[in-house]
Amino acid sequence: MIKTICMKTIMTGVLLNIAVFSGSALAMIDFQSKDPIKQMEVGYAYYNGSEGLEKSHAEAAKWFRKAADNGSFRAMNILGVLYANGKGVQQNVTEAARWFRRTAEQGDASGMFFLGAAYVTGDGVKQDLAEGAKWIRKAAERGNAYAMEKLGALYQTGQGVPKDEKLAVMWYRKSVHQGNAEQMEHLQL
């Protein structure tokens, strides 16, 4: 179980914020395609119960798995989120961390952020604040606004990095400039 409400909100929000379809009717969905983008569209349709499909997180997970098997980093990260939260699959934080590591090690900023967060909370991996901060920093340096905010929080509290208010403010500001406006409250340290 993800240990922090903030992390749970971010991880669950990934699924809710990235559903974009190229077609708007069930007839437009290609159930035979080997294209990971098309497979993701089917996964989103099942996840949201849209495009004429009945809502089914289990069916969504199957389609996200197909897209992941065809190389989609986004699908791999979504599978990690599904495993972390037990949506459509049996909850398994170790499996979630495995999916996040798979994308992180290939340079995906979202995977780096999720893997770093897993190390910070100890979900699916042995808790290691320094290792978590390392992955979160890599994601932040690649422009991930959530990672920037989390890195600011780590510097503010001294978790995994030396406590440093100036660096905390710098990363919070970068997060806000990347569109993470709800984090402006942190700038009033």
Per-residue pLDDT reduced to its tens digit, 53-75: 899 999 999 999 999 999 999 99
pLDDT at 10 over 80: no
Per-residue pLDDT reduced to its tens digit, 132-156: 999 999 999 999 999 999 999 999 9
Quote the crossing angle between the two packed helices 73-85 and 93-104, to the nearest 10°. Answer: 160
State pTM to two decimals. Answer: 0.80
What pLDDT, on the 0 to 100 scale, is given for residue 33? 75
What pLDDT, on the 0 to 100 scale, is given for residue 35? 86
Give yes or no for a contact between 147 and 14, defined as CB atoms under 8 angstroms apart: no
Distances (CA, A) of 109 to 23, 102, 121, 140, 146: 28, 12, 18, 8, 10
Give the Cα separation of 158 and 32 in Å (integer): 50
Per-residue pLDDT reduced to its tens digit, 28-59: 566 777 889 999 999 999 999 988 889 999 99
The pLDDT > 90 percentage for the chain reads 71
